[in-house]
């Protein structure tokens, strides 16, 4: 597979007087397997006092299917797709959005190390919400029952809630 990344450009912008920063990134991807994808990400980071950092972000991503991808519904209704086809979900058409935030508590040791060991200690609490939209791999004319009849796909609005806790020490 030969891939071509046509655009990847982050645009960070620091607002010194606000002790915050905005971030914008966009990427576009095209490869010889027929997968065309792109994403856009926006984020804002804001210090609250000296030891709290709040970051909010949103990301939207979409990709098309590889030319040799067939979904599970195709295999269920049409039997095998022939040689050199796959049902691998990473090569399927998909669209998703993630929104979330992260709160970081930063402790700097100064003259005395934090906990007697670290120069700097960070505690992070991060939460994301994932919205996933699986797209039909074939036209609905080829799939008479439609993508909404496929047995592997759910109908929920919210697809995942991700919570992460982290402790990072610098020594």
Query: pLDDT of 92-139, one tens digit each?
Result: 888 999 999 999 998 877 778 888 888 888 999 999 999 988 777 766
* Segment holding 86, helix H or strand E: none
| pTM to 2 decimal places | 0.74
For 110-124, b/e burial (b = at least 16 CB within 10 A) is eeeebeeebeebbeb
């Amino acid at each position: 597979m030969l891939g071509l990344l046509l655009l990847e450009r982050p645009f960070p912008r620091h607002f010194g007087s606000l002790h915050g920063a905005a971030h914008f990134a966009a990427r576009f991807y095209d490869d010889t397997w027929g997968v065309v994808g792109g994403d856009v990400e926006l984020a804002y980071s804001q210090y609250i006092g000296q030891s709290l950092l709040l970051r909010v972000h949103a990301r939207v991503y979409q990709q098309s299917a590889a030319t040799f991808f067939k979904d599970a519904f195709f295999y269920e209704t049409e039997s095998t797709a022939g040689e050199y086809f796959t049902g691998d979900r990473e090569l399927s058409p998909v669209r998703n959005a993630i929104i979330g935030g992260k709160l970081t508590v930063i402790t700097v040791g100064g003259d005395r190390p934090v906990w007697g060991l670290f120069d700097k200690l960070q505690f992070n609490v991060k939460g994301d919400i994932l919205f996933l939209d699986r797209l039909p791999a074939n036209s609905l004319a080829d799939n008479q029952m439609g993508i909404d009849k496929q047995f592997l796909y759910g109908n929920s609005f919210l697809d995942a809630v991700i919570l992460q806790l982290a402790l990072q020490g610098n020594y």
